[in-house]
Amino acid sequence: MKTKKKVIAAVFFTVLVVLLNWNTNFAQVVRDHSFFYSGIISTISGDFRSITVNNKSFLLAGDTKVVDQQGNNLGIHELKPGINVDIDAIKGSAGLVIKKIVIVKNPMGV
């Protein structure tokens, strides 16, 4: 009878140790990979939800910042085809999402 209790206690503590050390991070979390892109806006959707820069499509999020080269905040209405921009974007589930757009007035100090 004592042996049976010792075996049950040993199994219980073994299972307890295994459960406490169990790695519950089954899903791999991939951090957003941000990148820089530069070019001239060729098209803008009528609802200002997407733009195309050098034949590459980007999505505009509600928190997308539009600034000038000095860092002054501008409105989304400042974006127009033919404007030179620098873009900071991330790859989202729906595509390339812009986090920040810098409107470049004088490229390379010209």
Question: Block means of pLDDT (10 residues each) for the chain, length 110 residues?
Answer: 81 78 54 82 91 92 92 91 94 87 76
Give the count of domains, the chain.
Answer: 1
Q: Is residue 96 part of a domain?
A: yes
What the block records as the tokens of 90 is 């991330």
Q: What CATH number is attached to the domain comprising 58?
A: 2.40.50.320
The confidence score (pLDDT) of residue 22 equals 67
pTM above 0.75, yes or no: no
Range of the domain at 81: 34-109
CA distance linking residue 101 with residue 81, whole number of Å: 14
What residues are paired with 74 via a beta bridge? 66
The confidence score (pLDDT) of residue 62 equals 86
Q: Is residue 83 part of a domain?
A: yes
The confidence score (pLDDT) of residue 109 equals 54
